[in-house]
Amino acid sequence: MIHTNAHLSIRVKGKLLQLHTPLVMAIINVTPDSFYTKSRINLPNEISTAVCSSLHQGATIIDIGAYSSRPNATDISEKEEINRLDVALSACRKEFPDSIISLDTFRASVAEFAIKEYQVDIINDISGGTLDKNMFDTIAKWNIPYVLTHIQGTPQTMQENPNYEHFIPEVLYYFSEKLDLLKQRGISDIIIDPGFGFGKTLEQNYALIAHFEVFHHFQLPIMVGISRKSMIQKVIHTSAEESLNGTTALHTLLIEKGAHILRVHDVKEATEVIALTEKLKTIHHDF
C-alpha cells in the first residue's frame, strides 16, 4: 500500500481541507443525458434530496454539473448551462449553506457566475483549460481551488480516435505544461485528475491505473473519476446500472495506489471502501 496522503491539503473556505484520508466527491448531475440514467436530476426537491443523502452517507464535496461530458454528449449553450445551475445551486445553498460545492464546468463565464452568485468552492474543469482560454485567469482572479483534468479532444470528439505516440509520457507532459501556466498565475490549490475516459482507449484507461504512481511526482492531490464508466462495462460485459461492483473493485486498487479523492455516483459504497482500506493501515506487521 502506498501512503502519499500525509502532507497534502487544499485551502477551501479559508481552511485547510486535509487529505491524509481519501475523500469522496458526490456527483450531482442536473442534465437530461448523463450516461448513468439514475444520476439525472432536475427539480429542486430532487437536488436537495440527493445532496442530503450524499452528505449523510459521507461525501465531503458535492460536485454539481449541468453539461454532460459523456462521449458524443449534446452541446448546450452557456445560457442553458447557467439556467440549470441556477436551479441546482440555489437549492443546494439554501438547504446546505456550509457544504463544499465543486462546479463541473469548462466555461470560465459559467464558473464566474457560480462563484459570484453561489460562492462555489472548487472548479472542476474536464478540459484542463483547453476549451476556454479564459479559465486559468478566472481561477487566478477568484483564488479558488481547481481540478486540472487531462483530456484529448472535446466531449463530442474525444472517443472517436484517441491518438498518442507515447501515452504516459504525453499525459505527464500535459500536466507539467498546464501546471506551469497555473503556477505562473499564482494558483497553488490544484487537484489533478488523469481523466479516465476523456480521450483514451480502453487499454489506455487501464494503463493509467497500472502506472498510477507516476502522478505522485507532481506532489498534488489526485482525484479519480471511474464511477460506472464504460471502461468497467466493457471488461465485465455489463451496463452502467450494473457496474457498481466493478467500480468498487477499481476504487480499492486506486486508493491503494494513492488516490486522494474519489468522484462517485455511489457515496455509501465509496466511503465503505475508504474505511476498509484505512483499517489496513492500522495493522502492524509484527503479527
| Per-position DSSP letters for 90-119, written without gaps between them | HHHHHH-TTSEEEEE-S-HHHHHHHHHHH-
pLDDT band at residue 284, thresholds of 50, 70 and 90? confident
Neighbours of 99 (CB within 10 A): 18
pLDDT band at residue 251, thresholds of 50, 70 and 90? very high
Query: What amino acid positions are annotated as catalytic residues?
Result: 229, 263
The phi and psi torsions of 182 (rounded to 5 degrees) equal -65, -45
Mind listing the pLDDT tens digit for each residue in 205-244?
999 999 999 999 999 999 999 999 999 999 999 999 999 9
For position 279, what pLDDT does the model report?
95
Considering just the CA atoms, what is the radius of gyration of the chain in Å? 18
Beta-bridge partners for 24: 262
Residue type, 221: P
Q: Which residues contact 157 (CB under 8 A, 6 or more apart)?
A: none
For position 43, what pLDDT does the model report?
76
Counting residues of the chain whose pLDDT is more than 90, the rounded percentage is 79
pLDDT exceeds cutoff 90 at 34:
no
Q: Which residues contact 160 (CB under 8 A, 6 or more apart)?
A: 153
Q: Between 3.20.20.20, 3.90.230.10, 3.30.1340.10, 1.10.630.10, what CATH number should domain 9-280 receive?
A: 3.20.20.20
For position 46, what pLDDT does the model report?
87
Distance CA 225, CA 70 (A): 12
Q: Across the chain, what does the average pLDDT equal?
A: 91
219-256 burial code (b ≥16 CB/10 A, e <16): ebbbbbbbbbbbbbbeeeeeebeebbebbbebbeebbe
CA atoms within 13 A of residue 24's CA, in its CB half-sphere: 25
CA distances from 104 to 69, 117, 137, 213 (A): 9, 16, 17, 25
For position 250, what pLDDT does the model report?
98
If DSSP codes are grouped into helix, strand and coil, which group holds residue 60?
coil
